[in-house]
């Protein structure tokens, strides 16, 4: 308990420092690829959710404290096709350098596709490409019912000949109940800074302070997820008041355990719902659903979510064991 108390104190100090340094709105932040769910199950439960599941290899990318040294000899991949030739893909694997300190390696790639280049008069001068890359390395240590994890990230954004880099880390502490199926997590996400070439300006990384809980009633085939996000700056939601303000910081999700080999997921992201709302109509923005099929050496996952009416996002994932 003394070790965990010191850990919480450390996270609180870092939180306070980051709150002072990142009092910015989301529109003033860079590298939004860091806000995208890294895998289909995370997208299906809501992109702000913390996933704590030893069977899901991608889970450590949302909660590094859940890294497990038993998750070796596995690899996971995710792919999503977006509009206008854009694609989003991810991959991860876990190495057991030491049983107490497993090492997770993850890669994310957001390809914006080919774009037309024009001069000042509007005449075509060819094409160019744009893309974002994220490489992340994480490790964790378990102390009885408590765990601590850290992820270091390098992110690169490239548009034609212009580019910028960012360096960030995630700090995560988790409590796992010894008998009940209950997790409580504190996550400080994207603590870091961005750099750019001479003559270019940068904006802050999308820092996020979250608390999350996961609970499964003993005799109910449903696991519930609740996350409060962006706690470091409640004023990021200027113009939203009352219940809508709370809703914009809230994410909820559920795993419906129909069978040991088949699960359904449903989620709601309040921040996305409120930001895309137009005249009190949200076009179902913020809602998501998906499924996961668990076989002996293979897992297939799928998520359906959307940012606009009439164009849902399809996110597929594959996990292989050997």
Q: How far apart are CA 32 and CA 27, in angstroms?
A: 10
Q: Give the residue among 227, 318, 322 at the shortest CA–CA distance from 270.
A: 227
Please check whether residue 61 is in contact with residue 43, taking contact to mean a CB–CB distance below 8 angstroms.
no
Q: For the chain, which residues score pLDDT lower than 50?
A: 17, 20-27, 198
d(CA 219, CA 131): 46
Domain ranges of the chain: 2-233
* CA–CA distance, 166 with 148 (Å, rounded to integer): 23
DSSP 84: G
**Residue 26: per-residue pLDDT:** 45
SS (H, E, C) 14-56: HHHHHHHHCCCCHHHCCCHHHHCCCCHHHHHHCCCCCCCCCCC
- One DSSP character per residue, 211-279 reads EEEEEE-TT-SEEEEEEE--TT-GGGGTT--THHHHHTTEEEEEEEEEETTEEEEEEEEHHHHHHT-BT
d(CA 30, CA 205): 5
**Which pLDDT score, from 0 to 100, does residue 312 have?**
73
Q: What is the pLDDT of residue 18?
A: 52
State the pTM of this model: 0.85
Mean pLDDT of the chain: 83
């Amino acid at each position: 308990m003394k070790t965990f108390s010191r850990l919480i104190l450390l996270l609180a100090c870092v939180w306070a420092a980051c709150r002072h340094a990142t009092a910015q709105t989301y529109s003033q932040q860079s590298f939004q690829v860091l806000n995208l769910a890294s895998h289909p199950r995370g997208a299906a439960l809501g992109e702000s959710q913390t996933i704590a599941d030893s069977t899901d290899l991608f889970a450590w990318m949302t909660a590094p404290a859940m890294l497990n040294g038993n998750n070796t000899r596995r690899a996971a991949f995710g792919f999503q096709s977006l509009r206008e030739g854009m694609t989003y893909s991810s991959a991860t694997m876990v190495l057991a350098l030491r049983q107490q300190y497993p090492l997770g390696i993850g890669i994310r790639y957001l390809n914006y596709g080919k774009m037309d280049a024009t001069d000042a008069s509007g005449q075509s001068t060819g094409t160019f490409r744009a893309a974002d890359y994220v490489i992340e390395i994480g490790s964790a240590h378990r102390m009885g019912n408590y765990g601590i994890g850290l992820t270091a990230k390098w992110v690169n954004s490239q548009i034609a000949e212009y580019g910028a880099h960012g360096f960030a880390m995630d700090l995560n502490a988790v409590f796992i109940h010894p008998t009940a199926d209950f997790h409580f997590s504190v996550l400080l996400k994207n603590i870091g800074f961005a750099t750019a070439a001479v003559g270019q300006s940068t904006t802050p990384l999308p820092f996020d302070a979250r608390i999350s809980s996961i609970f499964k009633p003993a005799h109910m085939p449903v696991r519930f997820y609740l996350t409060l996000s962006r706690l470091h700056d409640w004023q990021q939601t200027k113009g939203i008041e009352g219940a809508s303000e709370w809703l914009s910081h809230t994410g909820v999700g559920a795993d419906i355990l129909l069978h040991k080999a088949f699960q359904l997921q449903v989620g709601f992201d309040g921040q996305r719902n409120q930001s895309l709302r137009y005249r009190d109509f949200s076009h179902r923005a913020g809602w998501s659903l998906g499924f996961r099929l668990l076989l002996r050496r293979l897992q297939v996952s799928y998520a359906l979510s959307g940012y606009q009416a009439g164009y849902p996002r399809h996110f597929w994932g594959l996990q292989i064991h050997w």
